[in-house]
Every structure is written in C-alpha cells, then in structure tokens.
Amino acid sequence: MQTADKGDILGKRPLLLFQALTRVIIASAVVFQARALPLPPNVTFILQGFILSWASIALIGLFLDLPKSLPEFVAVLLLDWLFAGCTLLLGEPVAGFLLLLFSEVGLRSIGWRWRPTATVAVAALLLVCAGAAQHYWQMNWMDLQVLPSDIPLWAAALILYSVTQQMSARREASLERLSGDIWIDPILASGQPFSSDFTKWIEQLARLFGEKRSLCLLVLAQKGGTVRTFSNLPTERFHTELVQALADPRDHWPEQLQVMRDREAGRGQSDSDQSLRQLHVLSLLDHRIMMARHFRLGHRNGLLLIAHDQPNDAILTQEAIKIDQALDDVTARIDRTMEMRRAFLTEAREVARRDLHDGVLQSLAALRMRLLTIIQSENLTPAANAEIRTTADIIALEQARLRSLLDETVDADQPVNLVEALRLCVKTAALQWEIEVEFVSDETAVPMHRESAGNVEYLVREVVANASRHSGSKHLRCSLALRDDNLIISLMDLSATPMAPLGDINDGPLSSQSLRQRLALVNGRAYSEGLQTGTLLAVAIPLVYDEADL
C-alpha cells in the first residue's frame, strides 16, 4: 500500500523547512568564503549583506509560521529569485540555481497550472541577467576557483532538494489518485449497484494528512432517510449529531472545501464557524484546522469534513482546490455510472417482462385451468379437493401480481398504497405456507414508490417464510406502523406457545443472502432484541422522499 507524505515536520512544511536550510547553506558559501571577484567592494558588501539578511529573516519567519497568505508566498518567491541572482553575481552559480529549483516547489502556493512555465521563464531571465552581469563586470565564471568547501555545500543542498522534490511529487501524486475511474468499482459495489461506499476514498484522503493525526469524514444523507458515515476513525460518537446537523446541510456548509476553523489564527467565533456549533463533538477535537464542504450525489446531500494539524497557508488552499476537483470528478463519474446502470436495469426489466408474459404467466394460467378441471372429478376426497382449490387460489393471486407487474399502462412513478399491497402479500404467504396470518395497520394508506413497495412485499414474504420454516409458527400477526419517519413492520407469534425470536440478521435463519439483499435495497435493518414477548422480528425501513416532492 502506498502512503503519502504526511505533509509537515514539527508543524512545518518540508519544502519550506528545507528551503530555509538551503538559503543558510548558500549564504554561508557566498558570504564566508573569500573569492577574487572584479566587483567594487561596496557592491560586494551590499550583495553579501542582502544574502545574509534574507537567509536570516526567512529562517526566523519559518518559525513564526510565515509565509501563510498568497501575497506572502509571492513576496518570498520574488526575494528568492533576487537571492539567486545575487549568488550568480557573487560567483556561486550552482548555489543560485539550486535555490531556483526550490522555487518550482514554492510555486504550488500560487497555482498548479502555471508552475512549470513560470519556473522556466524565471530560469531564462536569470541566465540573461547573469550573462549581462558577466559582460558588464568583465567576469569569466569559467576562471572562478572551486573551493574545497564548495563540493559538500552543493551536495548538501542537492540532497535537500532531492528529498523535498520527492516528497512534493509523492504528495501531488496522492492528490491525483483521488480522482479518476479507479474509484467507481470500490465505491459502487457490484452486489449493491446503487449503494455508495466511500471508505477506500476516505482512507486515501486521510493519508495526505496523516492517518493517525487527522480525521477525514464523509457523510451521505437523504431527507427522511438514513445517514451513512465513512471515516478513517470510528464515527459512532458522531452519528447522532451528524443526523441533526445534516437535516439540510446547504443552509450551513460551503459549496467548496474551505477552512471552517483555525485555532492558531483565533478563528472559531466567526460566521464560518456557525455550522460547527451543531457538531459539538467535532468542535472539541484537538486538531487546529477544520475544513468542510457540502456536495450532492444524486438525490443525496453530502458533507466532507477534514480535521488536521497542517499549516493553514496558500499551499493548503491549492490542495483544497485539488481535493474539491477530485471529489467533483468522482461524484460526477458515480452519477453517470448509476444512470447507466438504471438504464440497463430498465431495459433488462422490459426483456424480463416480455419473457414472463409469454412464458411464466401463460404456464400459470394453464396450470390453474388443469387444477380446476381436476377439482371437477368425483374421485377426489374432500381434503384433496380443498388442497387443490387452495393451490389454485395461490396461483390466481400470483397471476394477479404478475399481471400488475407486466401492465405497461401503469405509471411506474405513480405511488401505490403499501397497506393494501401488504394485505394481499400476507394473504398469499398464508396460503403458501398453510398458516394463519393476521395483518393490522395503524395507517389506512402509506403511499410508496412502486418499486420500493415491491421490495417491501418480498421482504415481508421472506420474513413470514422464515418464521414458518425455522420457528414453526402457525399463527402470526404482521403489524405495520410509522415511527419517527421509519416504517416499522413487526411479526408476532400468536401460537399457544410462542417460539423464540428469529435471531440476529447476521446469524441464524435470517442470515439468508436474499433477505440481506432485500433489506439493503430498502435501507432497512432487522432486529429481534428489546421487543415485547412473542414478537419474533421487527424491520425498520426509513421513509425516503425526493426533495422535489417536499
């Protein structure tokens, strides 16, 4: 597994720390080594004084956490270029170009697009200036004596630059790895084509800021639905507050990644911190920097939170822009992929609909006709006659369900009454398993999207089947109720001797793959603990509404 640079050393950026050390090395080589140069003494004194002063000031500024803002970074770059030009005039061309190489890394603070171009332009400008100075002062750099101390100084500067360049390149590559098609498969699992899992993406993001020294948290929420969290740290303690804070995140959070809190700068009581006041647990984190942004993924609202201890400067601003672009790229690719999958499933359903109509439905009709014909026989006992008639009724119910499914005139977006659908579903299941099932509902009507209602029906049929097969139940009551924006479906055993609960969803008879898939399709959860005596199982399904309907 590749790990990115953690981005700071003792709270300082490596490129700024090593750049400061390189200035000191160059200043010592230029100022404290005597060279025979055809320059007026006053000019030499001024140039050496500037080099020594700037190296000292820049080193002090580093420990004062400077530069931070974009103008400060630009000023540092300009003074470094002047510093490099002065070293050229004082007979240290190698040292001057070494510092110039560092400016290519520093240019990250003013943007990524123009960094190589600006570096080449400045290098060309310094060459022209050096040639003009050589001609004006009648200098010949080829005749300059290379002192024995030059080699270790240049080697130390080259090593510092090489290490810094590798760390910078590794960090930039890590930012680039946050986008692209490589994230479609890890985020959109093949078994759950419309369920998003950002765990791997968040882990990659956390490596930028130090996995153990930062908190990267991505939250997805849909109005009236569940809240899913993905983090490099356990998030159980954040869940309750996140549900409250993300009721409508667009009212509180920025649309682009930005710093919401900077402890060292004294921020935390400004308007930008109003959102964090809703997340008291996150506000108490020790990290000095808190960054956040809101985004959209389909009909879901999302929130990205990053808490870390790296310097809040212009370089961090540019990295936030890259993270923004990566998140936008990933979410756009996921949206397109999900639309393609929906289109594919729609076409597959049409093919299946035609096949069911021309095959299964016709076979069921023929089978029912044969059963009804057999009933007319006088050789059947009353018990056999009743069994056959019950089987024919089951087939009739399934025919009705299939006709409803295959009816092309039905508007797929038109909601159905879940109460009536489940009443018919329970009746069918009772006939199939030869048990008695009562159906009660606190609501007379619960409108639900047709496809979601179908998934709930199949889920109830699976639960009733498991109760009959694994618990031996003969008399059940299926109850439907609404509690806190959740649809609660509970199954109670009314037998003379109630059986034990069905068990946890991950163990026992409820561990069937089909039931897991049905629960995942409706974002539901099944539980059997904390229920009243005789209740085998309860299923909680969040009622999710599209924002256009609210």
- pLDDT of 461 reads 85
Percent of the chain whose pLDDT exceeds 90: 10
- pLDDT of 53 reads 93
Q: Residues 202-219: what's their mean pLDDT?
A: 89
The pTM for the full model equals: 0.70
CA–CA dist 165, 160 (Å, integer) = 8
Measured CA to CA in angstroms, residue 544 lies from 93, 300, 548, 549, 550 at distances of 68, 10, 12, 11, 11
Q: pLDDT tens across 387-446, in order?
A: 888 888 888 877 777 776 666 666 666 778 889 889 888 888 888 888 899 999 988 888
For residue 70, pLDDT over 80 is answered with: yes
Listing DSSP states for 243-293 in one string gives HHHTSSGGGTS-SS-EEEEETTTT-SSSGGGTGGGG-HHHHT-S-SEEEEE
Percent of the chain whose pLDDT exceeds 70: 75
Q: pLDDT tens across 20-55, in order?
A: 888 888 888 787 765 666 677 888 889 889 999 999
- pLDDT of 279 reads 59
Q: pLDDT tens across 153-188, in order?
A: 778 777 877 887 788 888 888 999 999 888 988 888
Helix (H) or strand (E) holding 482: strand 475-483
Whether the Cβ atoms of residue 62 and residue 107 lie closer than 8 Å to each other: no
Q: Where are the domains of the chain?
A: 14-176, 181-332, 414-550
Beta strands in 263-404 (DSSP E): 289-297, 300-308
Q: Averaging pLDDT over each range in 33-42, 59-68, 341-350, which range is the top one?
A: 59-68
For residue 144, what pLDDT band results from cuts at 50, 70 and 90? low
For residue 459, pLDDT over 80 is answered with: yes
Domain at 414-550, CATH homologous superfamily = Histidine kinase-like ATPase, C-terminal domain (3.30.565.10)
- pLDDT of 326 reads 95
Residues forming a β-bridge with 305: 217, 292
For residue 5, pLDDT over 50 is answered with: no
- pLDDT of 517 reads 74
Mutual orientation of helices 70-89 and 41-63 as an angle, nearest 10°?
150
The edge-to-edge listing of strands for the beta sheet with 436-441 is 436-441, 475-483, 486-493, 535-542, 525-527
The yes/no answer on whether domain 181-332 falls in CATH 1.10.3720.10 is no
- pLDDT of 549 reads 35
- pLDDT of 321 reads 92
- Cβ neighbors of 402 (< 8 A, separation 6 or more) are 356, 357, 360, 361, 364
Mean pLDDT is lowest, of 109-123, 297-311, 512-526, for 109-123
